[in-house]
Chain A
Amino acid sequence: MTDVLGPDIVEQSSSRSELQPQLDKLDSLLERYLNLIHEYQTARQEISRHLSSGFFSLARANFNNSTGTRYGQDYYDERMQATRRISISGTAESPKFESRLDSTEPASPNDLQDEKASENSKEVPVDPLRWFGILVPPALRTAQANFRAAVEGPVPKLASITKQMRALEPEISRLRKSIKRLRNENVDSQ
């Protein structure tokens, strides 16, 4: 008799004592997750702000464009090279996305001018503003600054936050299931 009851009692008490740490763990995961949602929403507001300013400036540049053409795809350079890039660091589970300028773009003009000119001048990427002419309206420059701000700040931030959220989601689900199971075991054994 005692042989049969023994393991049962052990299991019952162990599932109870297992429950609390799991509940605590779930609490801390949910807290982290809620913080991430908050960060996500803040970065969302930031990107919306930059982009809507950018769209507004672009519309203004187009409105004032006396040539009757639009600042659009007809002028894209077919050989364009990306100057704003992303570097990813950290683990695949929780990677960190960061915006960076491509190294071929001169950081300060006088800095690299001589070397670049002697190297290969074709390698130096063209400022996309130049696609649209030598004298572009200030509104187009403002649009560029707005879109740059979006790409430099909130875009990599949102990408990083999204990944962290994704990593937490299955953890939270798993823990919830395990807590549910422990609770059911406790109910059954009472």
Chain B
Amino acid sequence: MAAPASEYKDRQLIAVIGDEDSVTGLLLAGVGHVNPPPDAQKNFLVVDQKTDNAAIEAAFDRFTDERKDIAILLINQHIAERIRHRVDSYTAAFPSLLEIPSKDHPYDPEKDSVLKRVRRLFGE
């Protein structure tokens, strides 16, 4: 049951939903990408206090559903908390979703959707 490579061969980018420092750091690493104009879509969203949850959800949908060029979506865990129902119910094969710590919010295994599934499997 070999999967068609076409399903993921165009998925090459790492997208980010994070606070400014997280996005700045990851863009410094070279993951940032802006599509050519007029589309000019970015593969990142900088979230601050003024960003509402609808905007975060819209970016989440864009990166996980609409765009077919994202391989991995990184999201700060404290931002994932704001759209937790979406993150926990995300089951698509691609892109792969990873919660990452931010400067002010260290990684909390209790909140991680991957480890939540582990706990469920072991009946906790």
Contact = CB atoms under 8 A, between A and B. Distances in A.
Interface string B1-42: 111100111011110000011111111111111100000100
A80 B34 contact: yes
A23 interface: no
Interface string A141-155: 001101110110001
Contacts of B97: 162
A169 interface: yes
A143 B96 contact: no
A72 B57 CA distance: 23
A88 B9 contact: yes
Contact of B24 (A47, A73, A102, A172): A73
Interface in A63-96: 70-73, 76-88, 91-93, 95
A144 B28 contact: yes
Interface in B46-98: 46, 71-72, 74, 93-94, 96-98
A8 B1 CA distance: 36
Contacts of A128: 27-30, 32
A19 interface: no
B25 A155 contact: no
Contact of A55 (B11, B21, B40, B96): B21
B29 A144 contact: yes
Interface string A109-147: 000000000000000010011000000000010011011
Given A88-B71, A97-B71, A73 B29 contact: no
A48 B31 contact: no
B14 A91 contact: no
Contacts of B102: 55
A144 B28 CA distance: 5
A84 B25 contact: no
A44 interface: yes
B118 A80 contact: no
B3 A93 contact: yes
A84 B29 contact: yes
Counting from the closest, the 9 A-B pairs by CB-CB distance are A92-B3, A83-B30, A82-B33, A159-B96, A86-B71, A84-B30, A147-B29, A55-B103, A147-B25
10 contacts: A54-B25, A73-B20, A73-B24, A82-B33, A88-B11, A97-B71, A101-B30, A102-B30, A144-B29, A162-B96
